[in-house]
């Protein structure tokens, strides 16, 4: 496996691969790789001739007071994980080569970026859309693989690809979970043992919401109330939001109707650690 740090060298490599007729599959990550990332890399392996994994803790998607400074970084371990999972190229740029002095260009998917996570984390998706556009321009992929764990990210990026005619196929991999149901996340490492013990309540509560819907409940308010009650009854978590939305527009859905894809999503804090999770349901 090859590691590349400079954007212009990655671009040159990508151009050569494209000239040789190779299909490039991209997996953007912020490192601290876990089983969820490995599943994305394995999926990319089946989708392209060359798998490029990017590792970049992107400062523009972190808000004031968020965890940019303490986000876990371990490049040596990540190099091993990428090569074990089947990556061919690891692109790990420095912040200054992605955002040199004077940098001032941003991509903003306006409405979708302000819903849910975007309301809780203003500017987050502007940072994501910008860095992913840059990574697309640097690695020139034919397709890119993302996780359902960040459901809104997929919705925002699909819109961006359509709106800007980027012509890159977006592939989504289901959320990979620990045995007790907790969605794998680099941020799980922040949890204290007792918070880690409580955290599976997030997925359990989503499943309770799903069970209600499958049993015929059509009121989003009732589903949100049940999911919220489950979390507060069984943990110390502070809920940021629980949402029932149409899965593509992210419009709030007061009433669920047959045929509508539904995204039940939530964000909650265990102390300073903010976790997200979601379930996608087609009625
Ligand atoms: P991150 O490094 O957290 O920015 O995540 C990089 C990519 O991995 C994103 O597309 C995430 O949605 C995806 N990802 C993170 N956690 C999981 C998981 N548990 N299962 C599947 N994909 C994930």
CATH of the domain at 209: 3.30.1300.10
Last residue of a domain, one of 173, 205, 222: 173
Nearest to 44 by CA among 76, 99, 86, 83: 86
172 falls in which pLDDT band (50, 70, 90)? Answer: very high
CA of 53 to the centre of ligand 1 (A): 12
Tens digit of each residue's pLDDT (9 = 90 or more) over 236-282: 999 999 999 999 999 999 999 999 999 999 999 999 999 999 999 99
Tens digit of each residue's pLDDT (9 = 90 or more) over 151-161: 999 999 999 99
Residue 166 sits in the same domain as residue 192: no
Task: Determine which residue's CA is closest to atom 19 belonging to ligand 1.
Answer: 184
Active centre residues (catalytic): 37
Answer whether 173 contacts ligand 1 (Cβ < 6 A): yes
Residue 207 sits in the same domain as residue 146: no
Residue 206 sits in the same domain as residue 147: no
Answer whether 7 contacts ligand 1 (Cβ < 6 A): no
Can you give the pLDDT at residue 234? 97
* 130 domain-assigned: yes
The answer to whether residue 171 scores a pLDDT higher than 90 is yes
Last residue of a domain, one of 173, 208, 237: 173
The answer to whether residue 283 scores a pLDDT higher than 90 is no
Which structural domain, as residue segments, surrounds residue 224? Answer: 186-282
Please count the structural domains in the chain.
2
* 201 domain-assigned: yes
Q: How far is CA 98 from the centre of its chain?
A: 20
* CATH code of the domain covering residue 91: 3.40.50.620
The span from the first CA to the last CA of the chain, in angstroms, equals 44
Tens digit of each residue's pLDDT (9 = 90 or more) over 107-131: 999 999 999 999 999 999 999 999 9
Residue 51 sits in the same domain as residue 101: yes
Can you give the pLDDT at residue 221? 97
Tens digit of each residue's pLDDT (9 = 90 or more) over 18-67: 999 999 999 999 999 999 999 999 999 999 999 999 999 999 999 999 99
Answer whether 275 contacts ligand 1 (Cβ < 6 A): no
* 179 domain-assigned: no
CA of 128 to the centre of ligand 1 (A): 13
* 178 domain-assigned: no
- Rounded to whole angstroms, how far apart are CA atoms 73 and 55? 10
Residue 128 sits in the same domain as residue 196: no
- Rounded to whole angstroms, how far apart are CA atoms 105 and 192? 39
Q: How far is CA 161 from the centre of its chain?
A: 16
């Amino acid at each position: 496996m090859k590691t590349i740090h400079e954007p212009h060298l990655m671009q040159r490599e990508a151009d050569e691969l494209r000239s040789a007729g190779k299909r490039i599959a991209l997996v953007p990550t912020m490192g601290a790789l876990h089983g969820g990332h490995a599943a994305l890399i394995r999926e990319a392996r089946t989708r392209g001739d060359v798998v490029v994994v990017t590792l970049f803790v992107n400062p523009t998607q972190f808000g004031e007071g968020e965890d940019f400074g303490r986000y876990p970084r371990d490049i040596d371990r990540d190099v091993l994980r990428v090569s074990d999972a089947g990556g061919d190229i690891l692109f790990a740029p420095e912040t200054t080569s992605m955002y040199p002095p004077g940098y001032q260009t941003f991509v903003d998917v306006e409405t979708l970026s302000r819903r849910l996570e975007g309301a809780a984390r203003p500017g987050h998706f502007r940072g994501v859309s910008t860095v992913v556009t840059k990574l697309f321009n640097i690695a020139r992929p034919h397709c890119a693989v993302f996780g359902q764990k960040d459901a809104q990210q997929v919705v925002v990026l699909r819109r961006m690809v359509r709106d800007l005619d980027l012509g890159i196929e977006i592939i989504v991999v289901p959320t990979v979970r620990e045995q007790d149901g907790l969605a794998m996340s680099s941020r799980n490492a922040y949890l204290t043992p007792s918070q880690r013990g409580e955290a599976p309540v997030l997925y359990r509560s989503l499943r309770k919401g799903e069970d209600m819907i499958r049993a015929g409940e059509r009121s989003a308010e009732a589903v949100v109330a049940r999911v919220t009650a489950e979390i507060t009854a069984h943990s110390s978590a502070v809920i940021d939001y629980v949402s029932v939305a149409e899965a593509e527009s992210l419009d709030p859905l007061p009433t669920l109707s047959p045929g509508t894809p539904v995204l039940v999503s939530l964000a909650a804090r265990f102390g300073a650690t903010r976790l997200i999770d979601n379930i996608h349901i087609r009625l």
